[in-house]
Structure 1
C-alpha cells in the first residue's frame, strides 16, 4: 500500500488524509513523493505533502541504506555510480531496486528531497531565493529554478508568494524553521532524554528545549530545538553560513528519532556513562573552544578523534584501560 495518492484526473498527488475526495478509480498509489513526481504528478496545495517526512513504508536493506546515504548528501557531489559502488552493487541493480521500491531513481529522490526542503524554507523563512538554493544543496541558482518548476510547476518567487501567513517563523536572533519529524518520533520524550544526558560545555537543555554546539562545513555555531507541534520541531540555527543546511536538518531529524548526534561522541559517552564529571572534563580539556557563545552557556565543540589520539588521557583521572579504549 502506497503512502501517497496521485489523482489521475487532476495530476496532483496527496498525503492521505487530504480534504479532497477523488473517486477511487481515479487514484494511483506511490511509495514516495519522488515516485509521484517522477510519474508527472505535482504536490497538492491543500495537504502540502512536502511539509512532512514520510519515509518509504517498506524497503530492502539495500534501498534503506541508499536512502540514508542520499539524505547524508551522497549525491550532492557524487554520482549514482559512486553511490552504487559504496553499496557494493552495480548502478543498474541499484536503479532497478529503486524503480521497484521507490518509484524513482536515486537522482530523482535526491532532487525531490532538496526541492521539498527548499519549499519549506520558502514558506517558513525570509531567506533570499539564492540563499535557499545553496542551503538546500543545489549546485547553482539555475539548477534550483529548473528543479522547482519541474517539481511544483512554479518558480521559487511564485511559490514564495503562495505561502500562508501562519507559515512564516520569526526568531529573536538566528534562523528559525520547522523540522518535520520522522514517523514514530516522540519529541517530548526525546527532549527529556537529551536533557538528562546533556554534557556541560557543549549542551544545555531543559525538558522543553535543547541546545548544542555544532559545525557546518567547518563553521561552529549553535542549534536550539523545541517542539512546534506533535509532528514537527522548531529549530533555530545560529551559524555564520547556511550552505548545506539540509544535511544539518537531517541530523536533527535523526537525533530526535533516537540516533546519536555523532557516532564517535556516542561511543565516548557510552564509556563515560557513569562518570558525568569526567566527561565534562574531557570536553573542557580536549574540546575545541568556540568564542562568542556565552549567551547560550556553551563554549566548546566535542573533542575530535585526533585530539584524543594525541592526548595523555590519564592526566584527568581516566584509567589506562579507559584511555586505551578511547584511542
Structure 2
C-alpha cells in the first residue's frame, strides 16, 4: 500500500518516489495522507500525494473498514460521528479509539481529508467553478470548503486552481472527466471482462473495454463510463443532472471496479498457497469486483445462481424492462434504471429477497460480512453460494462463493475465490 513520508524539519509529507532526499532521522511515516495532515504536515507541491490512491490497509479491523465504507457513502455529510458509530453498533468513543489506533485519525478527519483531496483533483482536472467544486466534493458551505483547503493545502481554492499543470486538465465531449487513481498493479482487462460477462441487460454494458451503466442521483438519471487511462489511473466520465455530491458517485465507481481496497497483505498471505500462489504471479493485478448498488447485486446473484447464463440474462432483462424506469436515448444498449426493492416484491425468483429489503428486515449495507451472509441465507431463494457472492462484492474480504473447504485461505478468501473463478467468470464465479 502507499506509505507517506513526512519530514519534521520542513513540515511536508510526500508520496513514494518523490525526488526529495531528507535525512532518515527526520522522516516520519504514515499509512494515510489524512493522518499526516492530522499531525500537522502539508502536501508536497512536487509529488502531489492527493493524486494517488489512498486506500485503507487491508489488515485494518472489519469494524474500521465498515465505518470507512459508510464514510465514503456520505454518512458524515449530514450527521456526526455518533450517528456513524450507531450504524455499526458501537459507541462513538470506541469508534474514535479504533480509528486513532489503526488509521491515525478520527472519522471526521478522515472524511474531511477525502473531501479536500477530491476537491483538489477537481480543481486540477476540471473546469468546474469554485462553488461547484465545493458542493461536488461534499462540503456543506463555501466557508467550510475554503477553511478546509487553507488548513490542508495552505492556499485558497482559487490559488490552487491557478497552480494546476497543463497536463492535468481533462476535457471530453460532454460530461465530467476524472481520474480514478490506483496503486499498480491493476488488471483492467480482467475486471472489465468480469463486468461484461455479468452485466445486467439494459443497465450495464461493456464495449471496446469501456464499462457503462445507468445510475440515479437523487431520483434523476445519469450515465457513467469507466475505461483505461494510464499506468496509475482509470478514467471516469460522468454524465449527471447536477454536480452536487459527485464525490460519492466517484467513490462508488471506484469501489465498483475494486480500487478502494489494498491487496498487498492478502497477496503476501496467499502467495505461499500452492494453488493460488502461481495465479498471483500470473495475474498480480486482479482485484475483487465491487458493486454499484447492494440490492442490485443481490438480485443479480440470486438470478444467476438459479439459472444458466442465457436464461439469467433473459430474466434480468425482463425485470429491468418491466419494473425499471426507462431512460431513452443513451445508446450502448442502456435503456433503464435498475428497479428498487418495492417494485420487485412479487417478482420471482427474488420476491422474498425484495420483500425483506423493502420492509426493512434485511439491511444490506450494515453489520459484519459474516452476519450479512448468515442473514441472506435465511431468505427463501438465496443459496449459500449466492449469499457469499453478495458478501464478496459488497466488500467482505473473507467470502467464499465456491465449493469445497477453503479455511486455510482465511481471512483473504474473496481474493482467492476471484483468482480461482476467472476461468468461469461469465457464470459469476460458479
The two structures have a TM-score, normalised by structure 2, of 0.71
* Unaligned residue ranges in structure 2 (runs of 5+): 259-288, 356-430
Bigger Cα displacement from structure 2, 150-159 vs 44-53:
44-53
Counterpart position of 1:289: 326
Structure 1 residues 236-277: Cα deviation after superposition (integer angstroms, max 9, x where no partner):
111111111111111111110111221211121122222212
Counterpart position of 1:303: 339
Q: How many residues align?
A: 318
Counterpart position of 2:291: 260
Structure 1 residues 53-76: Cα deviation after superposition (integer angstroms, max 9, x where no partner):
232334222222211111111111
Indicate how the Cα distance of structure 1 residues 242 and 24 shifts in structure 2: closer, same or farther if over 3 A, else same: same
Indicate how the Cα distance of structure 1 residues 127 and 262 shifts in structure 2: closer, same or farther if over 3 A, else same: same
Bigger Cα displacement from structure 2, 24-33 vs 114-123:
24-33
Counterpart position of 2:172: 171
Q: Distance in 2 between matches of 1:40 and 1:51?
A: 19
* Unaligned residue ranges in structure 1 (runs of 5+): none
Does the 8 Å contact 2:2/2:15 carry over to 1?
A: no
Counterpart position of 1:86: 87
Q: Tell me the secondary structure at the aligned position of residue 167 of structure 2.
A: helix
Q: Distance in 2 between matches of 1:97 and 1:294?
A: 45
Residues 140-151 of structure 1 aligned to structure 2 (within 5 Å)? 140-151=141-152
How well do the aligned residues superpose, as a CA RMSD in angstroms? 1.9
Is 1:70 the counterpart of 2:71 in the alignment? Answer: yes
Residues 311-326 of structure 1 aligned to structure 2 (within 5 Å)? 311=346, 313=347, 323-324=351-352
Does the 8 Å contact 2:344/2:350 carry over to 1?
A: no
Residues 32-47 of structure 1 aligned to structure 2 (within 5 Å)? 32-47=32-47
Moved over 4 A (4+): 182-185, 321-327
Q: Distance in 2 between matches of 1:2 and 1:122?
A: 23
Q: 1:187 Cα deviation (Å)?
A: 2.1
Counterpart position of 2:211: 210
Indicate how the Cα distance of structure 1 residues 144 and 8 shifts in structure 2: closer, same or farther if over 3 A, else same: same
Q: 1:282 Cα deviation (Å)?
A: 1.3
The counterpart of 2:301, out of the listed 235, 259, 270, is 270
Counterpart position of 1:108: 109
Q: Tell me the secondary structure at the aligned position of residue 155 of structure 2.
A: coil
Indicate how the Cα distance of structure 1 residues 123 and 83 shifts in structure 2: closer, same or farther if over 3 A, else same: same
Counterpart position of 2:399: none
Q: Distance in 1 between matches of 2:134 and 2:32?
A: 23
Q: Distance in 2 between matches of 1:299 and 1:104?
A: 43
The two structures have a TM-score, normalised by structure 1, of 0.92
Q: Distance in 1 between matches of 2:202 and 2:131?
A: 34
Bigger Cα displacement from structure 2, 201-210 vs 239-248:
201-210
